[in-house]
Amino acid sequence: MNVSQSQQEELDNWPGYNHPLACRVLRQGDQKILYPVMKRSAKSLKGFIGWAKYAPSWDFKEVSRFVNDHLDDDFPRFHLVFSIGKQLVGFGSLAPMQSSYDIQIALWVACGHEGNGIGSWIVNVLEWYAFHVFGYHNFYYQHDANNKASAKLPQKLRYQFSHSFEDEITAMNESGLWYSWKKERPQGLPPGVIETGEWGDWVNMRFPWVSLI
């Protein structure tokens, strides 16, 4: 996204920081900024994220593989990195569900930046992409019952409880019981990418922020 400096200056700084919160699509080379953050966050990540089980022992090569694997993901997987100034503060993804009209979010907030509203903003941004750009009918937020921090977000953002289900335990702090929350697409929005098969004007989309990383 090419956003002018004047547009960036129109945004307020994120509370407690000296820059606005911004995001951009994951791209080649992001292992350089992800590596130190993922190493610092590894102990918290491995508790409830299956792929992060061995993250504390990851080296730069492993983080590079993580980035490349995500870049190679097929649609509808979609990944954003979130930053404040030159600090990477979070990572968010869209991931498929059983129905092609449903999508779910996966996210993590970098160690040291929790409790500052960043997780809520990640959810809001990816929800916007899901409904306005892609045109999904339902947006799901799912978390393990033991993940108390994640449990706060869907209720705070007024998601409706959908159902619970049992799943294989893949992370050390998981219970295997999961809660699923959802939000339905607002009525009246034009068809999205999944219905038209075309990106249209979204290719030239501009946001009032610029990522500095």
Residue 206 lies in a domain: no
Residue 27 lies in a domain: yes
- Residue 57 lies in domain: 5-201
pLDDT in single tens digits along all 213 residues of the chain: 333 344 445 789 999 999 999 999 999 999 999 999 999 888 888 776 777 776 778 889 989 999 999 998 988 899 999 999 999 999 999 999 999 999 999 999 999 999 999 999 999 999 999 999 999 999 999 999 999 989 999 999 999 999 999 999 988 888 999 999 999 999 999 999 998 888 777 767 777 788 899
Residue with tokens 């061995």: 54
Q: How many domains does the chain have?
A: 1
Residue 208 lies in a domain: no
Residue 138 lies in a domain: yes
Residue 57 lies in a domain: yes
Residue 213 lies in a domain: no
Residue 177 lies in a domain: yes
Contact yes or no for 125/103 (Cβ under 8 A): no
Residues ≥6 apart with Cβ < 8 Å to 94 = 76, 77, 78, 79, 103, 104, 105, 106, 126, 129, 130, 134
pTM, entire model: 0.89
- Write the CATH number for 187: 3.40.630.30
Across the chain, where does the E strand assignment appear?
Answer: 21-25, 78-84, 87-96, 102-109, 138-144, 160-166, 177-184
Residue 31 lies in a domain: yes
pLDDT at res. 203? 67
